[in-house]
Chain A
Amino acid sequence: MPKDSGIGASSKRREDVRFLTGKGRYMDDMNRPGQAYAYLLRSPVAHGRITALDTREAEAAPGVIKVMTSADTAGIGGLPCGWQIHSRDGAPMHEPKHPVLAEGKVHHVGDPVAMVIAETAAQARDAAEMIVMDIEELPPVVNMKDAVAAGSPLVFDEIGTNVCFDWTFGTPQAETDAVFAAAAHVTTLDLVNQRLVANPMEPRVALGEYDPITELHSLFTTSQNPQLIRLLLSAFVLGIPEQRVRVMAPDVGGGFGSKIFHYNEEVLVVLASKALKRPVKWTSDRSEAFLSDRQGRDHVTRIEVAMDKDGHFLAMRTDTLANLGGYLSTLGPAIPTILHGTLMAGNYKTPKVTVNVKGVFTNTIPVDAYRGAGRPEATYQLERLVDKAAREMGLDPVEIRRRNFIQPDQFPYATPVGLAYDIGNYDATMDKLVEVADFAGFEARKAESAARGKLRGLGVSSYIEACGIAPSAAAGALGGRAGGWESANVRVNAAGGVTVWTGTHSHGQGHETTFAQIVADMLGLPENMIDIVHGDSASGPLGLGTYGSRSLAVGGSAIVRATEKVIAKAKKIAAHLLEAAEEDITFDKGTFTVAGTDKAIDFGTVALTAYVPHNFPHETLEPGLEEQAFYDPANFTFPAGAYACEVEVDPETGKVSVCSFAAADDFGNIINPMVVSGQVHGGIGQGIGQALMENCVYDENGQLLSGSFMDYAMPRADDVPNYVVDHSCITPCTHNPLGVKGCGEAGAIGSPPAVVNAVIDALQRGGYSHVTHIDMPVSPSRVWAAMQAK
C-alpha cells in the first residue's frame, strides 16, 4: 500500500508551486542596485592569432564604463581543471592554461576575447561592435582523426601535440589480445557518439558584486554547485581566502551537467565588479549559449568482443578518440576516462576488458559532462556491440545478455576495469522489462504496423552506471583533485520546525520535497515542518554540489547522519525529562518512550526544552538541537536496469517513430516514486533526442552549423511516447544508510542503445539485412541512405 508521507510516498513537489505560478527566483530576474551590464566579444573564427585588439572607440561609446581584455586578467589564474589523467607511459596529461579571456590565440568560435561593461546591455553590445579585433587565421583542427595525424596543425603550440593524454585502463592489452586471437568469434563495431548541446531551458547568467568594506566578492550564478564554484574561484583563480567569496545559485532552470563547470564569465563579472565598485551582470542568450556552454559526448570508437561458440563474452577491447575541445574544462578529462572506461564491463562478467582512450584537443567548444557523462558513451558502445554480437551468433538479444550477466551470488563483484559492484540483479530487471514491455505481444504489433506499410522493431539494452560520486579516496586514486563527500546541517528550531541545509543543489530534481520526506520520516514529523535550504555558500554547509546522481546517495546520506545525531541528542534530553536511563529510551514516530512503560514525551517538547533549558542536564549536555554531518561514501552506487524501445520505420522516407518505451530500473530504495519516474522520463526524453535527433556539427572551418534550434533538433513532446517506467526491482545499496543508488542519469544512459537497436531490428526484420549499424542521430536521411546502400 503506497504511503502518504515520508520515505516511499509520492509527495507532490512543493517547489512546483512557485515554478508553475511564475514565482521562481531565476537569475535574470535578479538585479542589484547600481548594476552595470556586460557583453562578451567572442572569436568569430575557430583558430587564429590575435594581431590587434583596439578598444579605444568602444571605450568612448555612449554608456560604456570599461572594456576588459586579457591585459585586465593578467594577475589571476586560469580556469582550473579538476582532474588529472595520466597517460599509459605514466606522464601526466598536458594541461595548457585556460585563460578567462583569450591570450594571444583564439581556440574556438565563441572564445571570449573582451568584455564590455556599460550602463545598459544594449550599449555594451553596441560598443562591442566598435572593438577592432584583427585575427590572423590559422588552419583549424576540427576532426579528431585529423587532429591526431602526424603534421596536424596544433591547438596548443606549446605542447607539440593535440593528444592531451593517451590513457589505457583495465586488463593489459597483450592479455586481452591473446584471448581475441584464440576466440571462436569476434564482433567488431565502429561507432560515433555524437556531440550534443545541453540546452537547459534557462541560459547561463552571472552577476558579480563586491563590497569594499568587508572585501566580500559575491557571485550570483546559474550553477549546479555553488560551493564548488566558490572553491575554484577563490583558491585557484583569484587566490583569496575562501570566506571572502560568496556564491549563490537560486532557482536554476535545468543544468544537465552544463552548469557544473567554472565558466569564464563568472570570473569576469566578479573582477569587473571589484574594479568598478558596481554590480556587473552578464546574461547569455540562446545563440550565445550554443557558442559558450560546454558541450557533451563526442567520441569516436572501435569496440570489439571476443566470444566462445556459445556467445559467452571472453574479452572486450576498445579504442576511443574523445574530443576535449579547445581548452580543458573543469571535468573534461575525467569524462572519457574514469567515468567511461570504468563502466566498460557493463552488466557482464567478461573476464578481460581493455580500454584505450586518447583525449584530443580540437578548435571546438570545450567538451565536458552532459547528463550521464561518460557512462552513456560506455553503455552505448557496449549495448550496440552486444546486439550486433547476438545477431552474428544467431542468439536472441535478451538471451545473449542473460548468458553474460553477473549473477546475484557473485556480488560484490570486482570488474576488470576498477570497480567493485556491491549488489544487483540484472536478470530480475530483464524479467520485469519483458513483462512490462509486453514482449509477448510484439509479433501482433509488428503485423499491425506492416499492414500500414511500416517496419516495426524492438530494441533492448541493459545498463549499469557508477553514481553517488564519489568515494574521496577512489576519486583521488583516479586523478580527482577534490573530495567526493557531502555535508548537511539539521537545525531543530525551538518550536519544533526543522531547517535542513544541504551542500547539494536542486535545479529541477525536487530536493526540497524528497529531502524533507527523509527527515520527516526519521523524526516522525509532518513533511511541512521541514524546510530544505540550498544554493548559498554563505548560509549553507560546505558541499560539492549536484551531478553524477549523487545528491540523494551522498547528500541525502549526510542529512541522515546529521538527523541521527539530532535524535541521539534528543534521546539524552528525553531521558532527563522522563527521569530514565538513556539506553531505556526508544524513539518512534515522533515520540520518546521509556521502554516497557507508558511514560512518553513528544519530539516537540524535547526540542522546546533544548532551547528553553530550565530543566536540562547542563552538566553533560549543551543546549540547542542542531547537528552537522559530513558523509564520504564507501563506494560508488550502481543503479542498473533494462530498457526496451519499439519503433516504426517508414521505409519510404526513413523516418523513425518511437511507438513505446519501457524502463525497468533498480535504483535501490525509493524515497519518492513520482519524482523518480519524472527523472527517468526526462532522461529517456534526452536519450531519444540523442538517438534520433540531436547533433552538434561543425563545418571544416570550425564554424558551428547547428548553432540554433533551426538546425539543432531538440526533441519535443510529440517526438516521444508515453513511457512505461517500473522501479519495483530493488536491491538496496549496501553501503549508504538509505540503501539508495540515484536515478538522475539512468534514463539518458540506458535509452540511446535501446532506440538504435530497435531501428536496426526493424530494418533487419524488414529485409534490410545489410544494415548492421547507423550512427546517431538516426535521422530520416541516414536511415534512408543506409537502406539504399545495399
Chain B
Amino acid sequence: MYNFDFIKPETLAGAVEALAGEDAQALSGGQTLLPSMKQRLNAPATLVSLTGIAELKGVSGRAGASVTIGAATPHAVVAAEAGAFYPALADLAGGIGDPAVRNRGTIGGSLANNDPSACYPSAALASGATIKTNIREIAADDFFQGMFTTALEPGEIITGVSFPIPEKAAYAKFQQPASRFALAGVFVAKFAGGVRVAVTGASEGGVFRWTEAEAALSANFSPDAIAGMAPPAEGMIGDLHGTPEYRAHLVGVMTRRAVAAAH
C-alpha cells in the first residue's frame, strides 16, 4: 500500500467537497478497494470515507411498497433489518462473503463497484430498484453499464437504494469454489406486472436481465415454465472455474431454484 491521505467527513456535502480533490477516491466498506491498494494495484492520493455520514446509513420502508437502504449500510445490517420488508433481499445480504465482509462491506460500495460476480447488482436490477445519488436518481436498468462500469459520474456519491417490493422473490447463488463469489447468481422478482430475472457472476457484460426467462415466467411463474432453458453461452465468462457453457447452464438451474424458493 502506498501512502494516502484519509478524510472522514460527517456530512454528504463534506464528502462531495473532499471528492473534488485531485485523485480522491470514495471509500465505503473497503472490501474491494483496500485489498487492491494493499497489492499496489490502486493508489488514490486521498481516501474519503463515507461511513461517518449518518444520513447514508440505515434501513427504512413501507410494508408491501418499498424499502430504502442507506448506501453506507453494511450487509449484516441489511440481513438483520430488511427482512421485515423484503425477505429475499435480506437473504441475499446474509449470504455475501463471510462475517467480516458482511460487517464492513456496504450496499453502496457494492453497487458502485459493479463487480460482475457481486450479489447486490442482481437484486437491484431484478427489483427495478432506484439508485439515489447526491445529484439524481438512476433506474437500475440504466445504472449498470458492464463489468465494473456504472452510470456514476466522477465524484458522484450513491446515497441510498430504493427497492420496490415484489409479490415474491428469491436469490439463488452457485458459489465459485475459491472466492465464493457468484459463479452464477440469479435474482427472480415477481411483480403484479410481470417477472424480472437478473443474472450476476456469469456474463462478461456484468449483471444482465434474462428476458427470455422473464417472458416465460411472467406467463407461468413455475420452474417448469423454464425447464431446460438456458441463456446462450456466447458472452459468458470462461475461466479456471467454469466454461461459458457451464455458466450458461448454471444460470438456468439457479433461475429454476430461485423460482422454486420464491416467497
Question: Footprint of B on A, CB under 8 Å?
Answer: 126, 287, 652-655, 693, 695, 697, 705-706, 709-714, 779-781, 784-785
B183, B240, B241: most-surrounded residue (chain A CB, <10 A): B240
Which residues of the partner chain B approach A697 to less than 8 Å between Cβ atoms?
A: 240
Q: Indicate if the CB atoms of A712 and B178 lie closer than 8 Å.
A: yes
Please, how many angstroms separate the alpha-carbon atoms of A652 and B246 in the complex? Answer: 11
Which residues of the partner chain A approach B243 to less than 8 Å between Cβ atoms?
A: 781, 785
Question: Which of chain B's residues has its CB closest to A126's CB?
Answer: B2
A654, A693, A709, A781: most-surrounded residue (chain B CB, <10 A): A781
Please, how many angstroms separate the alpha-carbon atoms of A776 and B137 in the complex? Answer: 49
- B8 CB-CB contact with A under 8 Å: no
Q: Indicate if the CB atoms of B242 and A713 lie closer than 8 Å.
A: no
Q: Indicate if the CB atoms of A710 and B178 lie closer than 8 Å.
A: yes
Question: Which of chain B's residues has its CB closest to A652's CB?
Answer: B253
Question: Which of chain B's residues has its CB closest to A783's CB?
Answer: B246
Taking the closest CB of chain A, its distance from the CB of B2, in whole angstroms, is 8
Which residues of the partner chain A approach B245 to less than 8 Å between Cβ atoms?
A: 785
Given A287-B39, A653-B250, A785-B246, CB of A705 within 8 Å of CB of B240: yes
Given A287-B39, A652-B253, CB of A781 within 8 Å of CB of B178: no
Q: Indicate if the CB atoms of B179 and A784 lie closer than 8 Å.
A: no
Contact with A along B12-46 (1 / 0, CB 8 A): 00000000000000000000000000010000000
Q: Indicate if the CB atoms of B253 and A779 lie closer than 8 Å.
A: no
Q: Indicate if the CB atoms of B246 and A709 lie closer than 8 Å.
A: no
Q: What are 29 A-to-B residue pairs whose CB atoms are below 8 Å?
A: A126-B2, A653-B174, A653-B250, A653-B253, A654-B246, A655-B174, A693-B177, A695-B240, A705-B240, A706-B178, A709-B179, A710-B178, A710-B179, A711-B179, A711-B240, A713-B177, A779-B177, A779-B241, A780-B174, A780-B183, A780-B242, A780-B246, A781-B242, A781-B243, A781-B246, A784-B249, A785-B243, A785-B245, A785-B246
Instruction: Give the 5 A-B CB pairs with smallest separation, nearest first.
Output: A713-B178, A781-B242, A713-B177, A710-B179, A781-B246
Which residues of the partner chain B approach A711 to less than 8 Å between Cβ atoms?
A: 178-179, 240-241
Which residues of the partner chain B approach A712 to less than 8 Å between Cβ atoms?
A: 178
Which residues of the partner chain B approach A706 to less than 8 Å between Cβ atoms?
A: 178, 240
Please, how many angstroms separate the alpha-carbon atoms of A779 and B252 in the complex? Answer: 19
Knowing that A654-B246, A711-B179, A780-B242 are A-B contacts, what are 16 other residue pairs whose CB atoms are under 8 Å apart, sorted by A's residue number?
Answer: A126-B2, A287-B39, A653-B253, A655-B174, A693-B177, A693-B178, A705-B240, A706-B240, A709-B179, A711-B178, A711-B240, A712-B178, A713-B178, A714-B178, A781-B242, A785-B246
Taking the closest CB of chain A, its distance from the CB of B203, in whole angstroms, is 16
Which residues of the partner chain B approach A126 to less than 8 Å between Cβ atoms?
A: 2
Question: Which of chain A's residues has its CB closest to B1's CB?
Answer: A122
Question: Footprint of A on B, CB under 8 Å?
Answer: 2, 39, 174, 177-179, 183, 240-243, 245-246, 249-250, 253
Please, how many angstroms separate the alpha-carbon atoms of A126 and B240 in the complex? Answer: 32
Given A706-B240, A785-B243, CB of A780 within 8 Å of CB of B177: yes
Given A653-B250, A709-B179, A710-B179, CB of A781 within 8 Å of CB of B241: yes
Which residues of the partner chain B approach A714 to less than 8 Å between Cβ atoms?
A: 178
Taking the closest CB of chain B, its distance from the CB of A707, in whole angstroms, is 10
Taking the closest CB of chain B, its distance from the CB of A751, in whole angstroms, is 18
Which residues of the partner chain B approach A784 to less than 8 Å between Cβ atoms?
A: 246, 249
Q: Indicate if the CB atoms of B178 and A709 lie closer than 8 Å.
A: yes
Which residues of the partner chain B approach A654 to less than 8 Å between Cβ atoms?
A: 246
Please, how many angstroms separate the alpha-carbon atoms of A710 and B32 in the complex? Answer: 12
Please, how many angstroms separate the alpha-carbon atoms of A126 and B246 in the complex? Answer: 43
Which residues of the partner chain A approach B253 to less than 8 Å between Cβ atoms?
A: 652-653
Please, how many angstroms separate the alpha-carbon atoms of A654 and B243 in the complex? Answer: 13
Please, how many angstroms separate the alpha-carbon atoms of A528 and B112 in the complex? Answer: 59
Question: Which of chain A's residues has its CB closest to B242's CB?
Answer: A781
Question: Which of chain B's residues has its CB closest to A716's CB?
Answer: B180
Question: Which of chain B's residues has its CB closest to A709's CB?
Answer: B178
Question: Which of chain B's residues has its CB closest to A699's CB?
Answer: B240
Please, how many angstroms separate the alpha-carbon atoms of A654 and B249 in the complex? Answer: 11
Please, how many angstroms separate the alpha-carbon atoms of A60 and B183 in the complex? Answer: 47
Taking the closest CB of chain A, its distance from the CB of B251, in whole angstroms, is 11
Taking the closest CB of chain B, its distance from the CB of A118, in whole angstroms, is 15
Please, how many angstroms separate the alpha-carbon atoms of A652 and B39 in the complex? Answer: 38
Which residues of the partner chain A approach B240 to less than 8 Å between Cβ atoms?
A: 695, 697, 705-706, 711
Which residues of the partner chain A approach B249 to less than 8 Å between Cβ atoms?
A: 784
Which residues of the partner chain B approach A652 to less than 8 Å between Cβ atoms?
A: 253
Taking the closest CB of chain A, its distance from the CB of B156, in whole angstroms, is 28
Which residues of the partner chain A approach B246 to less than 8 Å between Cβ atoms?
A: 654, 780-781, 784-785
Please, how many angstroms separate the alpha-carbon atoms of A655 and B176 in the complex? Answer: 11
Which residues of the partner chain B approach A287 to less than 8 Å between Cβ atoms?
A: 39
Taking the closest CB of chain A, its distance from the CB of B180, in whole angstroms, is 9
Which residues of the partner chain B approach A710 to less than 8 Å between Cβ atoms?
A: 178-179
Please, how many angstroms separate the alpha-carbon atoms of A713 and B240 in the complex? Answer: 11
Please, how many angstroms separate the alpha-carbon atoms of A652 and B223 in the complex? Answer: 14
Which residues of the partner chain A approach B177 to less than 8 Å between Cβ atoms?
A: 693, 713, 779-780
Which residues of the partner chain A approach B179 to less than 8 Å between Cβ atoms?
A: 709-711
Which residues of the partner chain A approach B178 to less than 8 Å between Cβ atoms?
A: 693, 706, 709-714
Taking the closest CB of chain B, its distance from the CB of A774, in whole angstroms, is 14
Question: Which of chain B's residues has its CB closest to A784's CB?
Answer: B246
Which residues of the partner chain B approach A780 to less than 8 Å between Cβ atoms?
A: 174, 177, 183, 242, 246
Please, how many angstroms separate the alpha-carbon atoms of A780 and B246 in the complex? Answer: 9
Please, how many angstroms separate the alpha-carbon atoms of A779 and B174 in the complex? Answer: 13
Please, how many angstroms separate the alpha-carbon atoms of A634 and B97 in the complex? Answer: 52
Taking the closest CB of chain A, its distance from the CB of B84, in whole angstroms, is 28
Taking the closest CB of chain A, its distance from the CB of B219, in whole angstroms, is 23
Please, how many angstroms separate the alpha-carbon atoms of A126 and B243 in the complex? Answer: 39
A126, A287, A654: most-surrounded residue (chain B CB, <10 A): A654
Which residues of the partner chain A approach B242 to less than 8 Å between Cβ atoms?
A: 780-781
Please, how many angstroms separate the alpha-carbon atoms of A712 and B176 in the complex? Answer: 10
Please, how many angstroms separate the alpha-carbon atoms of A214 and B177 in the complex? Answer: 53
Please, how many angstroms separate the alpha-carbon atoms of A415 and B250 in the complex? Answer: 49
Please, how many angstroms separate the alpha-carbon atoms of A367 and B23 in the complex? Answer: 43
Taking the closest CB of chain B, its distance from the CB of A125, in whole angstroms, is 8
Please, how many angstroms separate the alpha-carbon atoms of A763 and B183 in the complex? Answer: 23
Taking the closest CB of chain A, its distance from the CB of B256, in whole angstroms, is 8
Which residues of the partner chain A approach B250 to less than 8 Å between Cβ atoms?
A: 653
Question: Which of chain A's residues has its CB closest to B39's CB?
Answer: A287
Taking the closest CB of chain A, its distance from the CB of B12, in whole angstroms, is 33
Taking the closest CB of chain A, its distance from the CB of B39, in whole angstroms, is 7
Please, how many angstroms separate the alpha-carbon atoms of A712 and B249 in the complex? Answer: 23
Please, how many angstroms separate the alpha-carbon atoms of A785 and B241 in the complex? Answer: 12
Taking the closest CB of chain B, its distance from the CB of A288, in whole angstroms, is 11
Taking the closest CB of chain A, its distance from the CB of B247, in whole angstroms, is 9
Please, how many angstroms separate the alpha-carbon atoms of A781 and B179 in the complex? Answer: 15
Please, how many angstroms separate the alpha-carbon atoms of A645 and B2 in the complex? Answer: 48
Which residues of the partner chain B approach A709 to less than 8 Å between Cβ atoms?
A: 178-179
Please, how many angstroms separate the alpha-carbon atoms of A280 and B249 in the complex? Answer: 54
Which residues of the partner chain B approach A781 to less than 8 Å between Cβ atoms?
A: 241-243, 246
Please, how many angstroms separate the alpha-carbon atoms of A511 and B178 in the complex? Answer: 33
Question: Which of chain A's residues has its CB closest to B177's CB?
Answer: A713
A654, A695, A697, A780: most-surrounded residue (chain B CB, <10 A): A780
Please, how many angstroms separate the alpha-carbon atoms of A711 and B117 in the complex? Answer: 13
B2, B183, B246: most-surrounded residue (chain A CB, <10 A): B246
Taking the closest CB of chain A, its distance from the CB of B236, in whole angstroms, is 12
Please, how many angstroms separate the alpha-carbon atoms of A753 and B128 in the complex? Answer: 48
Question: Which of chain B's residues has its CB closest to A705's CB?
Answer: B240
